[in-house]
């Protein structure tokens, strides 16, 4: 976290430090970080920023699975249908429609209902 935000030689620096993402000063001491974030719940979890444009700071981080982090990216496509907001990859699982098909419908400008129900 600190290295990718502060070290221009880090391979991930362009997506973090160069974008202005910072680590709060409070977390310069691990004890403070641990008090704010707590133990990692399991090996499948890593640190995630809730607001991708926000800093690493209390209230903007959580322990998340790879799937949760994938769905929390700026490029994630969210669709709303029947009162449910879900990422497009979850709609593919729910409906059994290939992700590529849903993505094509989205890029063609179909409504959310049309994308999910296949009616255009």
Cβ neighbour number for residue 16 with a 10 Å cutoff? 22
What is the pLDDT at residue 78? 84
113 half-sphere exposure, CB direction, 13 A CA radius: 4
Beta strands 84-87; 45-49: pairing state: unpaired
| pLDDT one-digit tens code per residue, 1-60 | 999 999 999 999 998 999 999 999 999 999 999 999 999 999 999 999 988 889 999 999
**CA 35 – CA 109 distance, rounded (Å):** 46
pTM over 0.95: no
| pLDDT one-digit tens code per residue, 52-101 | 889 999 999 999 988 888 777 767 788 999 888 888 888 998 999 999 99
- Please check whether residue 103 is in contact with residue 88, taking contact to mean a CB–CB distance below 8 angstroms: yes
**CA 116 – CA 101 distance, rounded (Å):** 10
Domain positions in the chain: 2-71, 78-117
- Tokens of residue 7, six digits: 């070290």
What is the pLDDT at residue 38? 95
């Amino acid at each position: 976290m600190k290295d990718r935000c502060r070290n221009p030689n880090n391979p991930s620096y362009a997506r973090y430090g160069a974008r202005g993402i910072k680590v709060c000063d409070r977390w310069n001491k691990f004890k403070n970080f641990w008090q704010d974030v707590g133990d990692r719940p399991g090996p499948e979890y890593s640190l995630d920023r809730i607001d991708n444009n926000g800093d690493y700071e209390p209230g903007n981080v959580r322990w998340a699975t790879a799937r949760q982090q994938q769905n929390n990216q700026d490029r994630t496509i969210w669709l709303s249908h029947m009162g449910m907001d879900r990422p497009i990859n979850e709609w593919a699982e729910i409906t059994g429609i290939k992700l590529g098909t849903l993505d094509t419908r989205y890029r063609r400008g179909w409504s959310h209902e049309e994308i999910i129900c296949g009616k255009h």
